Amino acid sequence: MRACIFANGELGHPDLDRARIRPNDLLIAADGGGRYCLQFGLKPTVLIGDFDSLDNETLEAFRNAGTKVIHHPASKDQTDLELAIRYACDHGADEILILGGLGQRWDQTLANLLLPAAPYLSGKMIRLVDGLQEIAVLRSGERLTIHGQPGDTVSLIPLGSDSREITTSGLKYSLNRDALSFGSTRGISNVLLDREASIELGKGLLLCILIHANYESTEKSSHQ
């Protein structure tokens, strides 16, 4: 099952991101992410958070529409987005799409980018998307297939330590059981050669970023 979570960040391409939603997604709004559901005319199944970003009138409107509202105290150990991710996992989601996970606050953005690396999310497919950009984390022993169009940009960034035994196919600059050093920019700005490419990681954590060249490329990727 796929869950789609609206966070309280920014949507650079609202129309494009709205088109990613599927009718059978488990739709979750993390606090202020509920604003996007209102904007798009969507009713989330669940609205979760401490609600410092939504007024009471909006909360009541969601509740009256049948949305389950889960209120957490402001003093808590997880962000609203992490609470939403945990809810999705607890209710059977093995794939999670996060919209609005990036924004002007670098602390929140960095934390959101690293969330998919949490050990309890092992085996889950989690993507943060923002318009033309898609971001995922690859773990030791995993293989990621990405979809786009020739000319799309692919960047690979090691997390925490060196990423080793990386093998790619379908990219202009190939890797064959190679390593990328933590802090190195070697993996930046690779290029997709066809509609599909794969990345395999032997050891470590790897942040994989796909930047579509245009709307058409993103549309085809979002329906894979």
Where among 112, 131, 150 does a domain terminate? 131
- The band of 223, judged by pLDDT with boundaries at 50, 70 and 90, is very low
Q: Are residues 7 and 118 in the same domain?
A: yes
- With vertex at residue 214, the alpha carbon angle to CA 208 and CA 216, rounded to the nearest 5 degrees, is 105
- Give, in order, the Cα–Cα distances in Å from 8 to each of 35, 107, 154, 205: 8, 13, 26, 26
Residues 124 and 137 both lie in one domain: no
If asked whether residues 223 and 142 sit together in one domain, one would say yes
User: Which residue among 68, 100, 131 closes a domain?
Assistant: 131
Q: What local confidence, expressed as pLDDT, does residue 57 receive?
A: 87
3-state secondary structure of 143: strand
Return the H-helix or E-strand segment holding 114. helix 106-114
pTM equals: 0.90
The span from the CA of 29 to the CA of 82, in Å, is 11
Looking at the fold, whether 125 and 223 belong to one and the same domain comes out as: no
- End-of-domain residue from the set 96, 131, 166: 131
Per the prediction, the chain carries an average pLDDT of 92
Same domain, 47 and 155: no
pLDDT in tens, 121-157: 999 999 999 999 999 999 999 999 999 999 999 999 9
pLDDT at 140: 96
The dihedrals phi and psi of 209, each to the nearest 5 degrees, come to -120, 125
Specify the CATH number for the domain of residue 69. 3.40.50.10240
216 vs 64: which has the higher pLDDT: 64
CATH of the domain at 156: 2.60.120.320
In this structure, the answer to whether residues 102 and 30 fall within a common structural domain is yes
Per residue in 83-116, pLDDT tens? 999 999 999 999 999 999 998 889 999 999 999 9
Domain match, 144 and 41 both: no
**Number of structural domains found in the chain:** 2
Whether residues 126 and 155 share a domain: the answer is no
Residue 74 pLDDT class (50, 70, 90 cuts): confident
Write out the residue range of the structural domain in which residue 183 sits. 132-224
